[in-house]
Chains A and B, each alone.
Chain A
Amino acid sequence: MEDVVKTGINQYIVSTWLSGDGRGFDDDTDMQQSGILDSFSTLSLIGFLESTFKVQLEPADINAETFKSVNTVTKLVLGKLGG
């Protein structure tokens, strides 16, 4: 399950925000610091997570720590799915 979520998020980021160019991007890349996520792209990512993985994210779930990298977002989604 973890792999499916991780791969899905990674592919979404690469195709939507890196013009399909995944070079240099991995699951630990800091998406805040590297300019991938801003308020607008974060909202799009939330929309993607909610519709793809059928999870409901609360305002408390969304912060710089949980939306730092593909790994942290994956952890957040898995937590929601498990709970």
Chain B
Amino acid sequence: MTSTLEPGGEDRPPLRAERPPRAERIDRLVTDWASRQPGHIAVQGTDEALTYAELDALANRFARMFLDNGLQRGDRVGVHLPRSGRAVAAMLGASRAGGVYVPLDPGSPPARMRLIAEDCGLRQVVIAPALLSSWLAAGVHAPVEHFFLSAAGTAPASPPAVDPGFRVHPWSEVKEASAAPVPPVGDSPDELAYLLYTSGSTGVPKGVMISHRNALAFVHWAAEQIDLHARDRVASVAPFHFDLSVFDLWSTLSRGATVVVVDETTVVSGRRMLDRIHAQEISVWYSVPSALILMLDDGGLEQRGAPGLRVVFFAGEVFPMKHLRRALAALPQARFFNLFGPTETNVCLAFELEGPPPPDANTIPIGTASCGDVVSIVDEQGRPVPEGEVGELFVDGPTVMLGYWEGGRRTPARHPYPTGDLVSRRPDGEILYHGRRDHMVKVHGHRIELGEVESALTGHPSISEALAFAIDQQLIAVAVPTDAEISVLDIKRHCASRLPRYMIPSEVRLVARLPRTSSGKADRVRVRTALVENDGVVLSPVVRSADQPGPSGQPGPSRKEP
């Protein structure tokens, strides 16, 4: 089932093929394309490519396996493997069988998998052999009854003496299952399609419940915005448990285009990401700004360009203005979109940049309502705020999740959904982002929005990233400088020129880098913990050329001027 065609080496589909009718459920997205362009690559993985016909057939095989092993309508199916065509087929297969897929983070420890498996009652899991070994080594399997291996590999060799309470189905069993379509699941778009687990405020993961209608409102809208077509080659950068991947997979497959996996070992290097863009002729890219910054800082994007890239979507965190300007200059041919929305509403606002922002602009809007959603900005009493004033963003419409799956219970979403994001509306109708409501802190009686402090810090030409925290009534900043010679005094002076006194961080820690979450964002929780515990490894200080060698993990010695 392996195809190893070079990009463009296959029969190229017509640029403007007649499109199949708009699918209302995820399980319907691929079928029509599989008969129209069976040999076109659907998913270009790292070491395997699946054509539309192969993806369609493998999805049916998975669906058959799930049903034959007792899957009931609405049952959850875990998918725990690296991003690949097989993972996409497993999700599609779960959907076709009437199940709900749950993408699991290959980088998360088994203990977290146990919490999720127990929370949503995972009885069937498609898993990579190496990951299964780590589950079993950690003693995690309940409530799973069936593991389906995604590759030939080391299934636990000899059957244990006692019934372990679960079965492991080798890859050969999946591969040889019937590829005939399973009985149709009907066309109700309001059924649950997938669960995306995010960190709850207490640290216990909670599942965001997304229906087919929720997902496809965004999927079709996004494809429409950029006129996505069958010759497009769309990067898959985000992990599948992160909602950016909903575009990468389903918008792409809804238009008969090709998903190109940019795998976990590639996304850590700007140079390797850009190599992959060039070698795979990637035309559409969607990631957090950090990935683009990595290509600017460490991939030579400004020198090498990427002329084949026609669309860049970014979301998930604020794109510091100076880096955004560099990206725009490096990719003059590309359309850039700032997409906005929490996992709970997928993308509910969007802004397309029309050329570089004005030189004095220090932020760009998050735009206007998208995907058929309606947004409002309200104060703490729930009343609409006047134009220009900051309030909380409320969203209603087709992308608002069904609710949370948490502690084994389902809680319906509030309508309209309160996002917890602080925004304001400009006279031209565009919405501006001001930060998270829960990042609004009080220090010595002053209300401070940490996002504003962070954006002032990254406004310094020599600071590439910054996070701000309020700990024990102290405002503390952690910043990554691009120039090791920058001093704390420089930074304070810079802040003093932009912020009120009470918003100037009393402590500034200059660090070599920030830890990342699995979705590539700066890991705020780990940095905060490191500050509290004074963890010199997470907060490894910047090495300055003039520093005396000091004990490792200690800040460089201070050098008082005479």
Contacts and interface: CB of A to CB of B under 8 A. Distances in A.
Interface of A: 7, 10-11, 14-15, 17-26, 29, 33-36, 38-41
Nearest to A44: B506
A34 B489 contact: yes
Given A33-B496, A38-B504, A39-B501, A21 B488 contact: yes
Contacts, number: 76
A35 B501 contact: yes
Contacts of B492: 17-18, 34-36
Interface in B508-562: 508-510, 555-561
A20 B493 contact: no
A35 B555 contact: no
Contacts of B298: none
Given A15-B558, A39-B501, A21 B489 contact: yes
Given A34-B493, A35-B495, A38-B504, A22 B509 contact: no
A43 to B, nearest CB: 10
B139 to A, nearest CB: 44
Interface residues of B, number: 26
Contacts of A11: 560
Nearest to A10: B560
A22 B489 CA distance: 8
Contacts of B559: 22-23
B318 to A, nearest CB: 22
Nearest to B477: A19
B489 A18 contact: yes
B507 interface: yes
Contacts of B389: none
A38 B20 CA distance: 65
A53 to B, nearest CB: 19
A67 B153 CA distance: 71
Can you list the 5 inter-chain pairs with the closest CB atoms, starting with the nearest? A35-B496, A23-B487, A38-B501, A21-B488, A35-B492
Contacts of A22: 558-561
Given A25-B489, A29-B489, A35-B495, A20 B561 contact: no
Contacts of B556: 21
A38 B444 CA distance: 11
B145 to A, nearest CB: 55
A35 B489 CA distance: 8
A21 to B, nearest CB: 4
B560 A24 contact: no
B48 interface: no
A10 B488 CA distance: 15
B444 A40 contact: yes
A24 B487 contact: yes
A20 B555 contact: yes
A25 B502 CA distance: 21
A24 B508 contact: no
Contacts of A35: 492-493, 495-496, 499, 501, 504
Nearest to B476: A19
